[in-house]
Structure formats: C-alpha cells, structure tokens
Structure 1
Amino acid sequence: MQNPQSNHQKRYKGPALDKDLDKISFVEGAAESLGRRLIGPGLGVVFMALCAVVAAFHVPAWSLSDTLVLAAAAAVGAYMAMNIGANDVANNVGPAVGARAITLTTALILAAFFESAGALLVGDDVLETVSSGIILPAHQVNSAVFTTAMIAALVAAALWINMATLIGAPVSTTHSVIGGVVGAGIAAGGWGAVNWSTMAAIAASWVASPVLGALVAASFLAFIRYMILDREDRLQAARFWLPVLIGLLVGAFTAYLTIKGLDRLLAVPHGFVFVTAPLLGGAAWLFTIPLIARQSAGFDNRRQSIRGLFTGPLMVAAALLSFAHGANDVANAVGPVAAIVNVQLAHTDTVAQAMETEPVTTVPLWVSAIGAFGISLGLMLFGPRLIRVVGQRITKLNPVRAFCVSLAAAITVLIASGLGLPVSSTYIAVGAVFGVGFFREWSWRRRQGEGASRLFNRSIRNREAHNSRLLVRRTYLLTIMTAWMVTVPISATIAAIVFELLRLVLGLS
C-alpha cells in the first residue's frame, strides 16, 4: 500500500519547484532591467569624473583647495550639460521626429554631431555674456565667494532641469542657469552685485523670442501654402520654390558661420560674408534644382506627395537648429565654469581685479568641449522622452509644418547667438510650434467662414470634446507657460540656498 504522505509530497513537488524557478527568473529579470536603467547614469558619472580630471590638469592651481574647487566646478558643469541635452535638445529634432520625416535614431545622431560643432566653433560670445556679463565685475565680490556662487548657480540649474526632465516638462535651460546666477549673486553680494541692465536686455529677449519664433514660423507656413500647396500645379511650384528655400537657408547659415565661427580658426574680414553667403547659397540653389526634379519624378499633384519633398530640407533645418543650439546653450552649461577659470588664473582677491588681470577674451577649448560633449551625451542617453513630447503632443505636425518650425527656430536662435544674447531655444522652438498650430486654426476658420465656425462650435457638446478638436492643445500651452514662469524664481531660490550651505561648510565670510 502506497504511503499517503509520499503522494502528498509528489503532488506538490512540481508546483513548488516551478514557483521557485519563477521567483529566480523574476529576480534575474528585475536585476537585468535595473542594470539597463543604470547604464545611463553610470556613463554620466564617468563623464563627470573625466571632466573633473581634465579641469584639474589644465589650469595651474595655487593650492590643493583651488584644484578641488575647479574639478568640482567642471563636474557640475558636465552634469548641467547632460541635463541640457536631455531636456532642451528635444526642441531641435522633435518636430522632425513628430512629423515622421526621420527616425529617432537618425535624429539623435544628427543632433549630437551638430550640437558639438556649434558649441566648439561658435559658442564664445554667449559664453562671455553668461560668464562675465550678469555679475558686475566692478562690485567688490571676494573671488572665493564668487567661485562658490557660480558653483551654486550650476547646481541649482542642473537640479531644476533634472526634475523637469523626470516629469516630462520642456523648460528653459537658459532661464534656469541665469536664474541660478542671479540668486547666487544676490546671496553673495547683495542686489548690487547683479548687472541689472544686462538682465533687462536678456529678459526682453525672453519675451520677444517666442513671439518672434511663432510669427516667423507662421509666415513660412503661409508662404509655403500660398506659393506651393494652394497652387493648381503644386508639383511645378515645389520644384521652383524648394531649391530657393534651401538656398536661402544655406546662405544664411554661411553668413553666420563666416562671421561668428571662423574667427576661432583664422582672421576673416566681415566684408567677406557678402561674397561667401550669396556664392554658397546660390550653389545650393543650383545643386538642389536637379535633385528636387529627380526626386519628384513620377509624383502626382496631391498635397501628400508634395509634403514628401520636404524631408530633405527638414533635415537641413534640423541640423542648422542643432548647430545654433550648441552655439547658444553651451553657455548655460559652462559659462560659470569659464568665469571660475578666469578667476583662478588671475589669483586675485576680488572679481574686479580678476577681470582686469584675466579679461574674458577667448574661452578655453576644453571648457567648451565639456559643454559640447556633455550636451551630446545627455541627448543620446536621456533625450528621446522629451523629443516625443515636443514633436507629438502640442499639435499635429507633418514635414511641411515641421520644416517651418525648424527653420524659424534656427533663424531666431542664430540671430540671438550672433548678438551674444542667451535666449531660450525652448521658448523659440515651442513658440514656433504654437505659431504653426494657431495659424492652422486661423486659416481653417477663415476658409470656412464665421457661420461655419459657429456651427462647428455648436456641434461639439462639451468642453473636453471641443478641446480635442482644436488644432493646438491649450492644456500644454498653459503647462509650458506655467513652467516658464516658475523656472527663474525656483532656480534662484535653490541657488541661494545652495550658496548659503556651501558658505557655511567652507567657512566663507
């Protein structure tokens, strides 16, 4: 007779083993998933450590404490640069990805290359504005206090941008870092330590840049609609006007690069731009005429076919915008680091004496490199999330609309960078997206007439359905505007708190 206890053991041996195996598999899967999530932060920590080592060996320090301070500043600047890449670069390639003109992988590679090029070639003027234009050199601020204030500003800006990225909010990195500089500067030297005339000019550019971006983008969309999409022979109009737009784009980019980029390599007279810009712009126009004609061979006259021709120009515009963003926003990452380097090199008691001894003329290449490669690394590791937010959730984009957004944002940022104003590329790009969306709404209502518009509104039974029919999502407009308004006070407050903590720890007077 068989033992009942043995039967009981046989009955539960299999299921118990399966449960144990399931638990082991679950733990292994969780560990693997956690490992994948930690790859990005791990690479970020390695990059920060490498930047600290490079800074420690590139600037002669008078003491070990100076070396440690400079290394810490470089590491925080690298952290800030990666946050910029994770949050702000989405504005450059998000429209192209949202329009499905390029894949996310292609967008990441394109943006990383041109971001680095713009930061390394053309970033000096804006670096000078952030590193020496916001805090008054004439104000007798102790050099050690000034260095601590710059580190506090970077820490505050990086923390705020990191939080915003985690919640999926595209905030202004320029707002963040300048708010941090202002908050730390006030905590260090009082209200008189801040150059309020420079701040007023920067604040005016914050207001003007989204409006200008919206107007320029809407104007481009109106032009393309009137001259190409609404024509009877759309295909022929596209073959004529697309090369013209590309030629204008290349000409403008050449003019900017000639004036603002080549001065780091060789002395170029400003009059030379009147030769190079028309020459290369005309060459691009002539070169793209047969390309557009060959690409459009066999196309029909539908709008959908015409939109496919904008994929190539959209990639050019996205590359131009990435270059401009690298030139403009590298200051947000390493502008305070550049200021610390100049104070360290001068080795004086006050900031005013440091600026007289080591005036900010040319930012060291290794300082620009920290920002350039940090932005690219942050984009590759953490950027895809916000790229989808900017490209898909504000308004529906196609290649034509995305081209208008990218081109308008590129032109606006390039002009601002040429003037040395650290405007927010987030403001400009998001303003351009909203400008395109609101122009679509306006043109639809204009075509349908007021009667059709009232009928359209009456046919919608509730507010939620009405909002879902709008071409621009108002909730995102409200959310983004709220984030813009709180960024400066939040980053300034965090910077003041961090500065006071550092001053207490370091025993600064």
Structure 2
Amino acid sequence: MVNVNVWLIFTVALGFWMAWNIGANDVANSMGTAVGARAITPKQAAVIAGVMNFTGAYFFGKNVTETIRKGILNVNMIHDPWIIVYGSLAALLAASIWLIFATYNGLPVSTTHSIIGGVVGYGLVYAGTTIVDWWKLGQVVLSWILSPILGAIVAFFVFRAVRRSVLVRKDPVGSARHWAPFWTGMAFVVIGTMFYIKVLHGSNLLRGVVFYGVPTGAVIFALSYAIIRLRFRPSDPYLGVESIFRRVQVVTSAYVALAHGSNDVANAVGPIAAAYAVITMGMSGMKVPVPRWILALGGLGIAVGIFMYGYKVMETVGKKITELTNTRGFSIDFSAATVILVASWLGMPISTTHTVVGAVVGVGLARGVKAINTDLLKDIVISWFVTVPVAAVISAVIFKFLILVG
C-alpha cells in the first residue's frame, strides 16, 4: 500500500508540474495580445489569466480530459493497470521536459501536441502500432491543422469588420461606442452558452444559445454601452477608439483565458486521471468520470505557472510576430476564443497555441504580408512540427526505464 501511495503522489506531483508548464508557456495564448497592445501590465495579465484559467479548467474541462485520458490509446489492450501508471508518468515527464525547453527559448509550442506525443510514444513501445486509435489521432491531427486556419480566417474577417465599421468612419469614436459593446456582448453569448452545456450539462445547443447565451450577452452589451457612453469623450478620434477597445480587450483576454483553461487543462490532468483511476480502482476505474479535484489541481497548476514564468512566451506572441493595437488585439482574442470554446464543446483537443498564433497572423494579413515577422513565424511552425516526435521519443525512453525499475 505504501508503494501505491508513493506512485499516486508522484503522479499527482508530476501532473501539477505539467500544469505549471502549461501556464508558463500557454499564458501567451490569452494575455500576450493584451500585454503587447498595452491594455494591461504583465502582472495584471497574470492575475486575470490565473483566475480565468482555473475557472475554465474546473467548470469546462471535463470533455477534453476524457479524450486525452482514454481516447488516444485502446485501453482494452492494456491488462496490467501499472502500464497505464508508468505510461502516464512517462507522457507527463516527456511533455514537461519539452515545454521547459520551449518556454526558456520563448517558443509558443503546443502543450496538446506535447502530451499526446507522450501518450503515443509509450503506447507504441508497449504494444506497437495496433494500440493507437489512428482514426481518433487523425481527427486530433486534423484539428491541429484546422485550428490555426480557422483562427486566421475568423480573425481576418473580424478585424476587417472592426476596421470598416469603426476605424475608417468619419466619426470613429462614435462608431466604437456602438460596436465595442456589440462585440463584448457577442463574446458573452458564447460564454453563457458554454455555461449551459458544460456546467448545467445541457445537450440542446439552440436552447443554450436562446435561454443562456443571448440573455447573458444582452446584459453585458447594455452594461458596456452605458459605461462607454458615460466615460469616453476623447478629443483625438483614433486615440479614443483605441482607448475604448483597450477596456474591451481586457474582457476578451479574460474570455480567451477561460477558453484556454477549458481545453488545455486536459493536457495535464488527463494522464493524472488515468493513473489515479487504475491505482485506486484497477482497470474498471477508466470508466469512472474524472474527479473534480483533479480538474481543480490542473487549474491551480496552470495559474501558478502563469504567475512564475509566463512572461517569456507572452512577449513573443504579443510583440514579435506582428505589431498590435487594441483593436487588433481584440479581434485576435475574440476570434481565437470562439474557435477554442466551440472545439471544447465538441471534445476536440485542439491546439490553443495554433489557434491564437493563427489569429495573430490573420490580423497581420489584413494589413499585408509585410506586417508579419515571417522569420519568427517560420521558427514557431518548425517547433510545432518537431513537438510530437520529440515528446514521443522522450516518453518512450522514460517508459522503458520505468518498466525496468518498476
């Protein structure tokens, strides 16, 4: 029993470390644009991101966690529960090692790539190619390709819409007073709908939109409209527009952080949930729902990582890919978060990093290719491609070692 408890504590500690790495690397997904556009300071970003990531992880993180826990490998082929324990440890350690390297170098790599590569790596060593659910893995890989494309497309058109409805108008401040509350309200339509689906476990999307999303969005729209009408009367129209959207961007950045926590917490707690289940209940434990305390642990780890080391990658995403203003940052946040939350509702472990970087590129393309730092973008894309095989190889080596010593 002592040995079992030691393995359990070790697994939980390693999962918390993985969550810490997610916070350190992926905080840029939610707050990099706001910091880059000077809407908030790095310290303010850490506080907002920490709270919202924890909330998203705890309330919305269950579906994707189930995919990571038992959707990539065919667990029916694993008869020894300790294989899952060793494999979960190997995957977490491999992903964490790679993330530390990437974060140190300021590269916004995918934590989703990292943990799934780790899971596939130990699975291939244990049982060969037959244990991997290649259809499911193919869907995951497809989502990695689609997420930056969708993020770029949505951000491109959102920014074009903002520019046409606000920036090029004769009275940009007056237009911003009307449109900024509209986009803020739309963000909360999605958040309200997701609350119905994830927290209240509703299954009817239309009902969620009509009875939860729209009323929530309408209230936020009314509040935003009243605040903006009362507080903003600047003399310089363009500075005035950016001033309005600076406040709105704080809201949309928090929205991205919520979406991030709902999706990427699975990268840390999926393996924890799998190991915890088989250690405490044997293979039958894989059928038991993920305990809430595990989701909370992942959310806490992400928050701590944000506070301690999140500034490195935040600088890359917020300042080095393309020049950001508040209207551009808002367009990125709103577009990326919508794609991420819809994917979370579908249970798809998409790459939050890919989606946000894609949205940054989409906004840059709306201003022309020259507005993008293509050399840096090339380095980022290369790091995306090597993440899965590197994590898989490291995980395979660690798994082999654990089998020998276990």
Residues 287-309 of structure 1: CA deviation (Å, up to 9, x unaligned): 22221111222x23632221111
- Cα deviation for residue 251 of structure 1 reads 1.1
Q: How does 1:251-266 map to 2 (within 5 A)?
A: 251-263=189-201
The separation in 2 between residues aligned to 1:402 and 1:435, in whole angstroms, is 11
2:175 pairs with 1:240: no
Query: Match for 1:327: what amino acid?
Result: S
The separation in 2 between residues aligned to 1:268 and 1:481, in whole angstroms, is: 36
Give the match for residue 318 of structure 2.
Answer: 391
1:107-146 deviations in whole A, cap 9, x for unaligned? Answer: 1100000011111111110110000111112224421122
Query: Residue 105 of structure 1 aligns with which residue?
Result: 43
Matched residues in 2 for 1:203 and 1:480: separation?
17
Mapped to 1, the partners of 2:332 and 2:85 lie a distance apart of 39
For residues 424-453 of structure 1, the C-alpha deviation after alignment (integer angstroms, 9 at most, x for no partner) is: 1110111111111111116xxxxxxxxxxx
**Is the contact between residue 96 and residue 402 of structure 1 (CA under 8 Å) also seen in structure 2?**
yes
* CA distance in 1 between partners of 2:264 and 2:225 (Å): 34
Q: Following superposition of structure 1 onto structure 2, how do residues 101-500 of structure 1 map, counting pairs within 5 Å?
A: 101-263=39-201, 271-297=207-233, 299-300=234-235, 302-347=237-282, 354=283, 357-441=284-368, 470-500=370-400
User: CA offsets, 1:257-279, max 9 Å, x none?
Assistant: 1111234xxx7976354212211
> How is 1:2-21 mapped onto 2 (pairs within 5 angstroms)?
none
The question of whether the paired residues in 2 share the 8 Å contact of 1:218 and 1:439 is answered with yes
Judge conservation of contact 2:104–2:312 (CA < 8 Å) in 1.
Answer: no
* Equivalent position SS for 2:371: coil
1:445 matched residue in structure 2? none
What letter corresponds to residue 69 of structure 1 in structure 2? Answer: W
**CA–CA distance in structure 2, aligned partners of residues 314 and 209 of structure 1:** 22
* Bigger CA radius of gyration: 1
| 1:284 maps to amino acid | I
- Alpha-carbon shift at residue 359 of structure 1 (Å): 4.3
Alpha-carbon distance in 1 for matches of 2:203, 2:355: 30
1:8 match? none
How far 1:64 sits from its partner (Å)?
2.1
What is the Cα deviation at residue 168 of structure 1? 1.6
Alpha-carbon shift at residue 381 of structure 1 (Å): 0.5
Cα distance in 1, alignment partners of residues 115 and 296 from structure 2: 18
Deviation string 1:318-372 (CA, Å, 9 cap, x unpaired) is 111101111111110110110112212332xxxxxx2xx3344521122112211
CA distance in structure 2 between the aligned counterparts of 1:272 and 1:329, rounded to whole angstroms = 23
One-letter amino acid matched to 1:288: S
| Equivalent-residue separation in structure 1 for 2:169 and 2:361 (angstroms) | 25
Contact kept? 1:94, 1:388, Cα under 8 Å: yes
Task: Report the Cα distance in structure 2 between the residues aligned to 1:502 and 1:268, rounded to whole angstroms.
Answer: 42
Structure 1 residues 301 and 234 mapped into 2: Cα distance closer, same or farther (>3 Å)?
A: farther
By relative contact order (CA 8 Å, sep 6+), the higher-ranking structure is 2
Unaligned runs of 5+ in 1: 1-62, 348-353, 443-469
Aligned amino acid, residue 404 of structure 2: L
RMSD of aligned Cα (Å): 1.5
Q: Distance in 2 between matches of 1:329 and 1:341?
A: 19
d(CA) in 2 for partners of 1:280, 1:504: 55
Residues 83 and 378 in structure 1, CA contact (< 8 A), matched pair in contact too: yes
Q: TM-score with structure 1 length normalisation?
A: 0.77
Question: TM-score of the superposition, structure 2-length normalised?
Answer: 0.96
SS in 2 for 1:309: helix
Partners of 1:340 and 1:286 lie apart in 2 by: 47
Q: Tell me the SS of whatever aligns to 2:342.
A: helix
Point out the more displaced range, 307-316 or 284-293. Answer: 284-293
Deviation at 1:397, TM superposition (A): 0.3
**AA of the residue aligned to 1:107:** A
Structure 2: unaligned runs, 5 residues or longer: none
User: In the alignment, residue 249 of structure 1 is paired with which amino acid?
Assistant: A
Q: 1 CA distance for matches of 2:33 and 2:343?
A: 21
What's the secondary structure of 1:440's corresponding residue?
coil
| Contact persistence 1:234–1:301 (CA under 8 A) | no
Q: Identify the residue that residue 454 of structure 1 maps to in structure 2.
A: none
Q: Does structure 2 conserve the Cα–Cα contact (< 8 Å) formed by 1:262 and 1:268?
A: no
Query: Residues 235 and 300 of structure 1 are in contact (CA less than 8 Å); yes or no, is this contact kept in structure 2?
Result: no
Matching residue of 1:9: none
The percent identity for this pair of structures is 37
**Secondary structure, counterpart of 2:176 in structure 1:** helix
